[in-house]
Amino acid sequence: MLNFTFSNTTKIVFGKGVEEKVGKEAAVYGRKVLLHYGGGHIVRSGLKARVEASLREAGLEIVELGGVQPNPRLSLVQEGIELVRREKVDFILAVGGGSVIDSAKAIAIGVPYEGNVWDFYAGKADAEESMPVGVVLTIPAAGSEASPSSVITNEDGWLKRGYTALVMRPKFALMNPELTFSLPPYQTACGVSDMMAHIMERYFTNEPEVGFSDHLCEAALRSIIQEAPKVIAEPENYGARANIMWAGTIAHNDLLGMGRSEDWSSHNIEHELSAIYDIAHGAGLSIVFPAWMKYVYKHNINRFVQFSVRVFGVEQDFFNPEQTVLEGIRRLEEFYRRIGLPVRLQDAEIPADRLEEMAAKATANDTFKLGAFLPLGQKDVLAIYELCR
Amino acid sequence: MLNFTFSNTTKIVFGKGVEEKVGKEAAVYGRKVLLHYGGGHIVRSGLKARVEASLREAGLEIVELGGVQPNPRLSLVQEGIELVRREKVDFILAVGGGSVIDSAKAIAIGVPYEGNVWDFYAGKADAEESMPVGVVLTIPAAGSEASPSSVITNEDGWLKRGYTALVMRPKFALMNPELTFSLPPYQTACGVSDMMAHIMERYFTNEPEVGFSDHLCEAALRSIIQEAPKVIAEPENYGARANIMWAGTIAHNDLLGMGRSEDWSSHNIEHELSAIYDIAHGAGLSIVFPAWMKYVYKHNINRFVQFSVRVFGVEQDFFNPEQTVLEGIRRLEEFYRRIGLPVRLQDAEIPADRLEEMAAKATANDTFKLGAFLPLGQKDVLAIYELCR
């Protein structure tokens, strides 16, 4: 087990009606709040009005910036930074899912920084401070509500890049599972795929003696696999929605990766897909992750046997570990299909004519390798894209 | 699932050599530190000297208070409160296990309080502030290093009472598994029993739709059951020590109880045992918990079937759930025995002549009931003590 530091300071307020507390929670951090959100859904559902009423009741002044798109854009972040500076905003409230939260985090580290906020995502600078950010979560998926990470897409070259700094962890996240009742099945499924990927990126490690976090990762995966078909079949099943929502936070609040080296190559391989084709991140992951598994499992076959047996309950073939592993990957694909997700490029109507370009971009023309489990060069990444066909 | 708030602000710094960072971590909170500890073990091992050197290097002045006993006493807490006030100490550093940490927490809430610190434990007052507390952990067991709780014994009547307030959560905990290499097997086993009990007190709930935290609890228990015999057999097995130590923190940092009603009657039933007989808390729990299970399992037999199957891998008898449950309890007792713990009063040389007195004290002469899973009156508690024989 590796040495580690775990410090998760995000206050989670979870359950029915908790969004009504947003004014009280936000008032701790200032008097003027940027209300950051995406499209019209939170307007139509009445959530925006409820949030605004709570903020006003707590004596807060509201500045608005909507329009965050999936795969949130750098241009809106820059608009947000200027708006916050001009209006002297004290606090940023993200009402939405991962894209809105990631955009809010980018604004929050951009405001006190003199250079271009993209410097952080381009690996040219480190964020030493951040404005405080709070969250009213509407989509369980990205885990951004309690993570120190943000992913932004730069329209200039369609570069999708992530950045992590502890100062970016939100101060609080208000999580009411009822707010997720209206999520369409496909978006629900994409969220499930995203949180599973967050766990699997941590699970597939070469670090020995991490039995406790292995068990925690497997528990989270099994629970998600058990609850996901329920939320697809019964969108208003509170218990199933609650378990999925809470699992999505734990999947990515760092707990499950403590003491382990993490991989993250599947995320990077997927980012090229969603940057070019604007496919939902979770749908890209359900295509990429099984392909990555097929390419790397021989590197540490025992870990994949453990995954198949403990997560998917595969009856172990003690004389043929490969058989056990392939059955586990098959069941993962079957699970993705069952909840309506693509597992091949053609399922998502993505052509296979730019695989070489994506492999080159993902590795910057083979100048660095992706992942820690089995570091992957440009040729490896191309082979994984080929396995997605 | 119940509504909940989860806010765990303790910074965990985990791994080889992390105690060397104590000066840097403590200096954040002041210039004068109370070094609080138990007996001579940390002196003989050289840990005390290393901690002092790190504190001095960071420019901190040290005031000392040793002598904390297992089942920490109110009188020493009161001495600590006076010492801290007199010496104008800024920060309290607990170097030791749960008893030292609990004593430090009691001092920390006692200093800013005008009344008697026992008021908190007697349920007569609520702690609104606390001095900052830091921890160098040497015994994985109580989980006090990241919990908001403290248990103190009042020598006047040998009352052992717990108190919980969020302000009591330590600011940081430095956790080096190597510091636990020298723990004797019995003390190691008592720690294992304590952390398992923290999980089981949360696991046995009537709250429906808590599948995700059920899975997490089971994962933690399975992991502890897998690692514990290794640490008993090989005291210097770093990986096994590390998994046990980290599991002990997660067992009691609130995570596993979120959204659930928790029970805690076994803890209260045990407290009477260890208050009178000064038996180790973990050894009391390995006697009480199986007896409690035998008394209550019929109240929610499916939950106990799930426990037996998922935690102990009992081959389920689908036509006889009771058989499945009893086999699970039998395996729990077998596990405790395997690691050297008592499972009956006579195993710990405790006579059975004060059971009625303890049942009366635990329920204040039947004026309140213990636990939430199946609330227990004086007669129930007495029946459970009888099952401990």
Whose CA is closest to B307, among B199, B165, B177, B181?
B199
Contacts of A229 in chain B (CB under 8 A): none
Contacts of B250 in chain A (CB under 8 A): 212, 216, 255
- B346 shares contact with chain A (CB less than 8 Å): no
ipTM, two decimals: 0.95
> Which of A11, A17, A219 lies at the smallest CB-CB distance from B216?
A219
What is the tens place of the pLDDT at every residue in A110-121?
999 999 999 999
* Minimal-distance CA residue of chain A relative to B245: A212
What is the tens place of the pLDDT at every residue in B267-312?
999 989 988 898 999 999 999 999 999 999 999 999 999 999 999 9
Q: Report the predicted TM-score, pTM, of the whole model to 2 decimal places.
A: 0.96
Q: Is the pLDDT of residue A248 over 90?
A: yes
Contacts of A170 in chain B (CB under 8 A): none
Asked if residue A91 lies in contact with residue A57, where contact means CB atoms within 8 angstroms, the answer is no
- A310 shares contact with chain B (CB less than 8 Å): no
User: What are the tokens at B231?
Assistant: 């640490």
Q: Do B209 and A239 touch (CB under 8 A)?
A: yes
Phi, psi of B327, deg, nearest 5: -65, -40
Contacts of B7 in chain A (CB under 8 A): 9, 11-12
Q: Percent of chain A at pLDDT above 90?
A: 96
Asked if residue B74 lies in contact with residue B153, where contact means CB atoms within 8 angstroms, the answer is yes
Q: Where in chain B is the domain with CATH 1.20.1090.10?
A: 183-387
Mutate to test the interface with B, among A5, A6, A25 (most CBs of B within 10 A): A6
* Mean confidence (pLDDT) of chain B: 97
Among A314-328, B209-223, B265-279, whose mean pLDDT is lowest? Answer: B265-279
Q: Is the pLDDT of residue A132 over 90?
A: yes
What's the whole-number mean pLDDT along residues B242-260?
98
Q: Is the pLDDT of residue B171 over 90?
A: yes
Phi, psi of A266, deg, nearest 5: -60, -40
Mutate to test the interface with B, among A20, A166, A212, A258 (most CBs of B within 10 A): A212
What's the whole-number mean pLDDT along residues B28-44?
95
What was the pLDDT predicted at A373? 98
What was the pLDDT predicted at A71? 85
Q: Do B246 and A258 touch (CB under 8 A)?
A: yes
Candidates 1.20.1090.10, 3.40.50.720, 1.20.1530.20, 1.10.260.40; correct CATH number of B183-387? 1.20.1090.10
Element (H, E) at A132: none
**How does residue A327 score in pLDDT terms, banded at 50, 70 and 90?**
very high
Q: Is the pLDDT of residue B159 over 90?
A: no
**How does residue A307 score in pLDDT terms, banded at 50, 70 and 90?**
very high
Q: Where in chain B is the domain with CATH 3.40.50.1970?
A: 11-179
What was the pLDDT predicted at A159? 87
Q: Where in chain A is the domain with CATH 1.20.1090.10?
A: 185-387
> Which of A14, A223, A255 lies at the smallest CB-CB distance from B3?
A14
Contacts of B223 in chain A (CB under 8 A): 211-212, 214-216
* Mean confidence (pLDDT) of chain A: 97
Q: Is the pLDDT of residue B40 over 90?
A: no
The residue type of A135 is V
What was the pLDDT predicted at A382? 98
Q: Do B219 and A216 touch (CB under 8 A)?
A: yes
Q: Do A211 and B227 touch (CB under 8 A)?
A: yes
**How does residue A246 score in pLDDT terms, banded at 50, 70 and 90?**
very high
What was the pLDDT predicted at B245? 98
Class at the top of the CATH hierarchy for domain A185-387: mainly alpha
Candidates 3.10.20.520, 3.40.50.1970, 3.40.50.300, 3.40.50.10090; correct CATH number of B11-179? 3.40.50.1970
> Which of A3, A222, A227 lies at the smallest CB-CB distance from B18?
A3
What is the tens place of the pLDDT at every residue in B45-71?
999 999 999 999 999 999 999 999 988
Sort strands A61-65 and B11-14 into parallel, antiparallel or unpaired. unpaired
